[in-house]
Amino acid sequence: MPLSPYTCVLWDVDGTIADASAGILPRLRQVFASYGLGEPDAEELALWIGPPMFESFQQRAGMDAAQAEDAVARYRALAAADGYAASVAIYPGVPEVLRAVQTAGIPQSTASTKPENQVRAILEHYGLIDGFTAISGARTGTAGMTDGKAFVIGRALERLGAAGADTSRPVLIGDRHHDIDGAAAYGIPVIFAEWGFGDPDEASGADFRAADAAALQSLLLG
């Protein structure tokens, strides 16, 4: 059995397990158009993938909280109409890493600011959900619009603990600085997934970097 320095593994989803950009970016364009806003370029749009959209609509589109809440609701309605697993691809090698960690007996949970029902839909669609002891994402409805990375990490740890998992040495796998900042609230080390959407500079606070799934598996299982 491989030896691991970690007792549980927390996974971000967008940019780490799944590439949902083919669905996210057109839906964002539709929301911008519904407000009569100019369409950001592709480089700017990529910065929206990963952080909570409620936050991004305020910081990047200049909306107030009420407008951002309405914009997120419009976006989620489009996602529901499309189907949550539509236009989503799983990154190469990641399913094998999930299975290897599961085989090693290490509990896993998602820790995503994507709404929890969307996370479940994607994992179920691709037959990956059985590898997880717990699922943690943002709450549905207006309550979940302000759920940040630290919140979903806290829920992941609580749910893993309730399932009997040892949460004394967790690790988070993510691709944005929000993952690093959220993990820091709990003193959790971060493995930065270089295949995701984060700028390389965002990895500066991570403990390790993984160039691909094989490198990630080595870091997790030794």
Rounded CA gap, 117 and 209, in Å?
A: 29
The secondary element (H helix, E strand) that includes residue 162 is helix 149-162
The secondary element (H helix, E strand) that includes residue 192 is strand 190-193
Give the pLDDT score at 74: 94
CA 116 to chain centre: 10
8-19+89-221 in CATH: which number?
3.40.50.1000
What is the average pLDDT score of the chain?
93
Give the pLDDT score at 2: 61
Tens digit of each residue's pLDDT (9 = 90 or more) over 165-176? 999 999 999 999
pLDDT at 180 exceeding the cut of 60: yes
pLDDT at 1 exceeding the cut of 70: no
Per-domain boundaries in the chain: 8-19+89-221, 21-82
Rounded CA gap, 114 and 136, in Å?
A: 9
Same fold, 8-19+89-221 and 21-82: no
Q: How is domain 21-82 classified at the architecture level of CATH?
A: Orthogonal Bundle (1.10)
pLDDT, average across residues 125-133: 97
The answer to whether the beta carbons of residues 32 and 26 sit under 8 Å apart is: no
The answer to whether the beta carbons of residues 110 and 135 sit under 8 Å apart is: yes
Give the pLDDT score at 143: 73
pLDDT at 90 exceeding the cut of 60: yes
Task: Annotate 22-79 with three-state secondary structure.
Answer: HHHHHHHHHHHHHCCCCCCCHHHHHCCCCCCHHHHHHHCCCCCHHHHHHHHHHHHHHH
Least confident of 82-86, 99-103, 147-151: 82-86
Give the pLDDT score at 176: 95
Give the pLDDT score at 23: 86
Give the pLDDT score at 24: 86
Tens digit of each residue's pLDDT (9 = 90 or more) over 31-83? 999 999 888 887 788 888 888 889 999 998 999 999 999 999 999 899 888 88
pLDDT, average across residues 82-89: 86
- Any idea how long the chain is? 222
Strand partners, 109: 10, 134
- Residues in contact with 59: Cβ distance below 8 Å, sequence separation at least 6, in sequence order: none
DSSP string, 113-126: SSBHHHHHHHHHHT
User: Within a 10 A sphere around the Cβ of 22, how many other Cβ atoms?
Assistant: 11
